[in-house]
Chains A and B, each alone.
Chain A
Amino acid sequence: MIVELGHYALVLAFAVACLQMLMPMAGAIRGDQAMRQVASTAAVVQLALIGVAFFALMYAYIVSDFSVINVSQNSHAAKPLIYRVSGVWGNHEGSMLLWVLMLALFGAAVALFGRNLPASLKATVLAVQASIAVAFLLFILTTSNPFLRQDPAPIEGLGLNPILQDPALAFHPPFLYAGYVGFSMAFSFAMAALIEGRIDSAWARWVRPWTLAAWMCLTLGIAMGSWWAYYELGWGGWWFWDPVENASFMPWLAGTALLHSALVMEKREALKIWTILLAILTFSLSLLGTFLVRSGILTSVHAFAVDPERGTFVLAIMGFFTGGGLALFSWRAAMLRQGGLFQPISREGALVLNNLLLAVSCFAVFVGTLYPLFYEFLSGAKISVGPPFFNLTFGPLMVPLLLAVPFGPMLAWKRGDLYGAAQRLYVAAGLAVLALIGALALSSKGPSIALIGFGLGVWIVVGALSDIAARIKLFSVSGTESLRRLAGLPRSAMGTSVAHFGLGVTVLGIIATSAWQSERILSMKPGERVEIAGYGVLYEGVAPRQGPNYREEVASVTVERNGAVVTRLEPAQRTYPVERQTTTESGILNSIWGDLYVVSGDRAADGSQSFRIYFNPLVRLIWIGAVFMFVGGALSLSDRRLRIGAPARARHASAVPAE
């Protein structure tokens, strides 16, 4: 009964979304304001209905109602509760439902909190947002309905893929989707600006918080996915330049660029057309990501079995919104008043450089990801593009970008003083050079670009700290005065520094673990010992163990350092009888300096056990840095001046009609 209610609510939500899309248009044509205002109510109703549908499905999962096909194919009564809940989005149908739920959430947020938006802009934004919902709800209802029943109902479900039964992965899709879908706000606002034919700095002030929130979620979502791949898959790596990974990375790059260009638009009323284009492209890349993952068109290490029909439908949706968006852009963009120009050496100049390099590196990732498709289409031969391509293109493009990061916040708007900024960065530059020399001394072989990267990481970290130090006049005024200044620092400035600091930390982690990873592959008999990166690893033996819904063969490994026992690791091979699948559980010893990562493999006939052992120096910094980026975004978002409808708007209100 509850499942039928959910199904019915989803159909109703589709009808409401249609209404939300059409009424503002009809209202605009007939000049009827009341008709346009329907959109706000519809957005809230749509959220409520999709919420009902989503929780109905969740209910079916929690009570293990196997008469629902989706539940029986992806769940099992013996699964722990948290994975029955996360199982809702651990499959195609449910994850699409989560997608539209996020979409409706953002739409309703505009309806509820966007009171200060001009009424016509708000109605248009909601109509565009609804058109996306219409497309995806139609997709769900026609090709991926999670509420279909079967009769007779099986006694037990098929279970959830065991590698998805993991805490990090339980929360990875919601954050990732919040990110993808959050960029739909930027898209809807861009479309609305083009339709209305006007855009100003107030527009950027409304768009930026949404983009920032989406960017934060995407950052965390990608980090969680990478963290999961690192410890769950047992490959010792954290990023493989795989199509599915790139699918989430491209919107992140474009979204990061959008975040920075919206800043220029808000403060200086410049880069208007570019920002609009970037908003369209960012959301298009989110749709492309959804398409690549959902269609399985590219060979991926993260791919799951897929249905080609669904891929075609998502491709059609992507074609419609990207094509429509770009067509509207090319038709209307010229009508927007051009923004101001500025000096190359200035805050906005630095942000343009940021945008240029991010856009170009995003383009490189795009080509590398889709090139196999083009190549096969043109020549028929099948190829793959792997990490060497991305290291060769993305790597060099990042060097000037990372080099510029600390300068950006130090330069003034309009006309910056490069010499003055450089003076404040001499500490960072000195430490970066020291790090570079240290890295050179430390590594005998390592690629030189990696060493430059290590210096760059230090440069950004110290540069971000120097920015705060300069703002609070550390050491040039008394300590208490500095503290007072720190408390009075605008949160958005603080956020910038924290996020840039996080970026530097991530760069350090990436470079250290790529350049100085140690690896041993070997077989050991019980009692044998191996040395790696200063650790002694002693294999003691293997024993079976029973888990809640799996059996495992646990290899016991003692780790020593300088003759003293540090810890015992238990890498295991798990067998899930329900899903008839085995997974590898890695044993990881984490320390500040790096992870000792032990994976056990097959056992040979003579009783020797195969192992793959890594030492990944500073690898945790990669994810710690991502958390800093998230916190930086949150600080910036909490800044009063950024809040939607904040008092600052009044100052600009007189400027709006002039546009």
Chain B
Amino acid sequence: MALGRKGKRSVVIGIGLAGLALAIGLVLYALNDTIVFFYTPSDVAEKSIQPGQRFRLGGLVEKGSIAKGADAKVGFAITDTDKSIKVTYQGILPDLFREGEGVIAEGRLDDSGMFVADSVLAKHDETYMPPEVAEALKEKGVWRGDEKSGGS
């Protein structure tokens, strides 16, 4: 193949751009399919979310709502102090999962309006509050903002 210096360079650049275009296509396609929205219990009530749609539910673990069942099944409720939604989860809850603490669960609503979580987001630090939950609580005016410490 007798390509000139310019020709070869444009082939190289062409391959590069093709690769990039492929990647952008792939990324956009994947984003369309895989993003997961974050809702508070009030959002869920307002937006009438269909059962089966995957989303993240965030808020506080409602006091007195934790019920432990057989085969590591746990039931609890997530609240934003206005509305609350019942959640079931099968598995081991994170160490810092406590009543009145911030929590994010990922899963789907079933037909009865129960949120079936397949993961409960853990955190490493007692004073950490997921930013979405903190913001949602601020909107409800129940944020206790001075709680955070200077830790890493």
Contact = CB atoms under 8 A, between A and B. Distances in A.
Given A161-B124, A303-B125, A304-B151, A383 B92 contact: no
B104 interface: yes
Interface in B35-79: 35-38, 56, 68-72, 74
B131 interface: yes
Nearest to A164: B124
B152 to A, nearest CB: 4
B98 to A, nearest CB: 10
Interface string B11-53: 1100110011011001101110111111000000000000000
A386 B38 CA distance: 12
Interface in A328-370: 341, 344, 352, 356-357, 360-361, 363-364, 367-368
A612 B149 contact: no
B122 interface: yes
User: Which secondary structure dominates where chain A touches chain B?
Assistant: mixed
A385 B34 contact: yes
Given A304-B152, A356-B16, A397 B122 contact: no
B8 interface: yes
Given A233-B122, A364-B23, A383-B37, A352 B30 contact: no
Nearest to A583: B95
A299 interface: yes
A385 B33 CA distance: 10
Given A303-B125, A352-B12, 10 more contacts: A92-B151, A93-B152, A235-B122, A363-B27, A381-B37, A397-B26, A573-B95, A601-B91, A605-B68, A612-B91
A356 B23 CA distance: 11
Contacts of A397: 23, 26
Given A385-B31, A392-B33, A582-B95, A304 B128 contact: yes
A581 interface: yes
A299 B93 contact: no
B151 A371 contact: no
Contacts of B68: 602, 604-605, 610
B97 to A, nearest CB: 10
Interface in B98-133: 104, 106, 121-132
Nearest to B127: A305
B125 A523 contact: no
Contacts of A305: 125, 127-129, 148-151
B35 A95 contact: no
B128 A303 contact: yes
A179 B101 CA distance: 36
A611 B92 CA distance: 7
Nearest to B121: A301
Nearest to A299: B130
A602 B31 contact: no
B90 interface: yes
Contact of A581 (B36, B92, B95): B95
B122 A301 contact: yes
A469 to B, nearest CB: 32
12 contacts: A73-B150, A298-B131, A341-B8, A356-B16, A367-B31, A383-B35, A393-B26, A600-B92, A601-B92, A604-B69, A604-B70, A610-B92
Main DSSP-derived SS at the B contact region:
mixed
Nearest to A360: B23
A100 to B, nearest CB: 16
Contacts, number: 174
Given A302-B124, A522-B71, A601 B93 contact: yes
Q: Looking at chain A, what size class is its interface with the partner chain?
A: 35 or more
Contact of A303 (B12, B95, B123): B123
**What are the nearest 4 A-B pairs in CB distance?**
A610-B72, A601-B92, A382-B38, A92-B152
A375 interface: yes
A393 B35 contact: no
Contacts of A303: 123-125, 128, 130
A392 B128 contact: no
Given A299-B130, A364-B26, A521 B95 contact: no
Interface string B79-98: 00000000000111101100
A389 B152 contact: no
B5 interface: yes
A590 interface: no
Given A341-B9, A356-B16, A360-B19, A299 B104 contact: yes
A296 interface: yes
Contacts of A386: 34, 36, 106
B41 to A, nearest CB: 14
Most interface-central of B69, B72, B129 (chain A CB within 10 A) = B72
Interface in A583-610: 583-584, 599-602, 604-605, 608, 610
Contacts of B19: 356-357, 360
A438 to B, nearest CB: 29
Nearest to B149: A305
B130 to A, nearest CB: 5
B4 to A, nearest CB: 10
A384 B58 CA distance: 12
A359 B71 CA distance: 46
A388 B54 CA distance: 12
A98 to B, nearest CB: 11
Looking at A361, A381, A384, A602, the one whose CB has the most chain B CB atoms below 10 A away is A384
Contact of B27 (A164, A367, A375, A602): A367
Interface string A233-261: 11100000000000000000000000000
Given A234-B92, A299-B132, A612-B91, A91 B72 contact: no
